[in-house]
Structure 1
Amino acid sequence: MEYRPTRRTTLLLGLSLAAVPATGLAVSRSAPDADAAVRSTVQATGLDDPAKKEIAMQIVCSAENSSLDWKAQYKYIEDIDDGRGYTAGIIGFCSGTHDMLELVELYADRKPGNVLEKYLPALRKVDGSDSHKGLDPNYTKDWKTAAKDSVFQKCQNDERDRVYFNPAVGRGKSDGLRTLGQFCYYDAIVMHGDGDDATSFGGIRKRALAKAKPPAQGGNETTYLNAFLDARVWAMKQEEAHSDTSRVDTAQRVFLRNGNFNLNTPLDWKVYGDPYHIG
């Protein structure tokens, strides 16, 4: 796959996020749970609406994998030479940033004896580094084999939601942001991690709050999102691998300038100069 500058700027070691039960993109409920299904529908008023979530996955995939086909990325794995070891799967789980380890541990819990379980000792040793020790030469091949397993695909969906998607949507809603703002938070957490240092999501948000107030604090949503995206661009430029800020400049900024706070289709944007369209 063609190299694109991606991934988080901070390690996720010590990340303390409450585990949020995730169901992936498809929700199936039996008749006795009809009331719960109604409550879920009412609560899904932003990026967590299934149709909007699908759009979010496509937009992120355009930046992370130069494609809109995010479901084709379960099998993706390579070292993109960014100091984080292997980057893999639908959201770019990294062997050096703890989230890949947690994913494979979850897979082992749900399906003992799977093809990746034998790599757990090596993944624990390389966590926090860019080393492949104990993973080569067959880890990438076995990852692609595992990616054909619906259990592993579900694990990827659930870890994406627990670590990235649900926290971003929750914080966006608490700041009074609509779907676009929640997406801006999600894309930032995907790339930068959910830490509190200057170039992590917490630091980016803090930098934005110093310039503008979010709607929940009586601020203007456009003004605040511009401040957040300014802070995001600053954080990206602190690392050479992220110096191309087109995923903000020619995507999220475009939606904001158009006043498309609900990410309504059609959507047109560019990443790394490549055009994308969702009708």
Structure 2
Amino acid sequence: MTRLVLVGAPIAVVVSVLFSSGDAEPPQLVPQAAGPARTSQAPQPEAAEEAEENAAAIDALPPGLAAPRMKEIASRLVASADASTLDWRSQYGAIEDLGDGNGYTAGIIGFCSGTNDMLQLVEAYTGKHPDNPLARYLPALRAVDGSDSHEGLDPGFTAAWRKAAEDEAFRTAQDETRDRLYFEPAVRLAKMDGLGTLGQFIYYDAMVLHGPGVEENGFYGIRDAAMASADTAAEGGDEREYLDTFLDESRSVILARTVQRDTSRIDTAQRVFLRAGNLTLDTPLEWRVYGESFRIP
């Protein structure tokens, strides 16, 4: 059951600091990891409905991860885990089949041909820009949705994706679809749960990695399991204890997979920030993913 306490919720206030210009990474156009099936056709979870109903009150809270600088940090952290780079903008044109059962994985957040989010993205883009390289593949994307099939997509779809990624409008469409399906719901729900900026990022990364599913291996299932063991900050619980429990549940879901079972995005990244007590996700940040070291000064 979801309980909402907004008054006095311990939402972190963001400290604004300019980025250093020396942390750019060379582009890497092939993502190295992606989450499991992430259909957006699942029933709307009760918690998501509650967050939407209280959107005005939640959005009146300090911006936290939604502040432009913190959102940039979040994008870099996700890219380090999904593509081994901090240059997340280099990933607009990235596309490959990772062999995880989700078909093609592509773009800045790993939109998948088998999990509906890629279909939503291309439909939205085509609605505004009908004469684009991906428009002719919409019937095929609808047909393969929910599977790992490439039928109707090969051999030209990957080249069409890369061509479309040269268009600023398509890059904007990726940004907007990411925000609508993943970033905004995760941050809003984290605020409803009384979590600060680190907690908001942990929710966002889990939403991207596991998808917005209500099953035990989806984001909402993981949140339900965590809430069964620890109270959220909004419920009067200890924020660090709850986040530690949430990360345990997320980690267990990763380890239960048959592919992509690396847990370093939790073990040597998010857990490092949490154990340091960095609930506001202040820089400098140093972490490791897949054995690679990253730093945001």
The alignment's TM-score, normalised by the length of structure 2, stands at 0.83
1:104 maps to which of 117, 122, 137? 122
Match status 1:64 vs 2:92: no
The question of whether the paired residues in 1 share the 8 Å contact of 2:141 and 2:153 is answered with yes
Match status 1:12 vs 2:40: yes
Residue number in structure 2 paired with 1:87: 105
Structure 2, unaligned runs of 5 or more: 1-28, 50-58
2:145 maps to which of 99, 120, 127? 127
Amino acid at match of 2:36: R
Q: CA RMSD in A?
A: 2.0
The question of whether the paired residues in 2 share the 8 Å contact of 1:47 and 1:56 is answered with yes
SS at match of 1:13: coil
SS at match of 1:240: coil
Match status 1:196 vs 2:224: no
Number of paired residues?
260
Q: CA deviation at 1:12?
A: 3.3
SS at match of 2:153: coil
2:66 maps to which of 48, 56, 61? 48
Amino acid at match of 1:141: A
The question of whether the paired residues in 2 share the 8 Å contact of 1:10 and 1:199 is answered with no
Amino acid at match of 1:223: E
Q: CA deviation at 1:13?
A: 3.1
Amino acid at match of 2:39: L
Residue identity (%):
52
SS at match of 1:268: strand
Matches within 5 A, 1:101-250: 101-250=119-268
Runs of 4+ residues over 2 Å off in structure 1: 1-6, 8-18, 41-45
CA distance, structure 2, for counterparts of residue 259 and residue 146 of structure 1 = 42
Amino acid at match of 1:161: D
Q: CA deviation at 1:241?
A: 2.0
CA distance, structure 2, for counterparts of residue 229 and residue 14 of structure 1 = 23
Structure 1, unaligned runs of 5 or more: 19-40
Amino acid at match of 1:113: D
The alignment's TM-score, normalised by the length of structure 1, stands at 0.89
Q: What do residues 211-269 of structure 1 show as CA deviations (whole Å, max 9, x unaligned)?
A: 11011000000100000000000111111223110000000000001111111100000
Q: CA deviation at 1:15?
A: 5.5
SS at match of 1:168: helix
CA distance, structure 2, for counterparts of residue 56 and residue 96 of structure 1 = 25
Work out which structure has the larger RCO, using CA pairs closer than 8 Å and 6 or more positions apart in sequence: 2
The question of whether the paired residues in 2 share the 8 Å contact of 1:8 and 1:190 is answered with no
Amino acid at match of 1:77: I
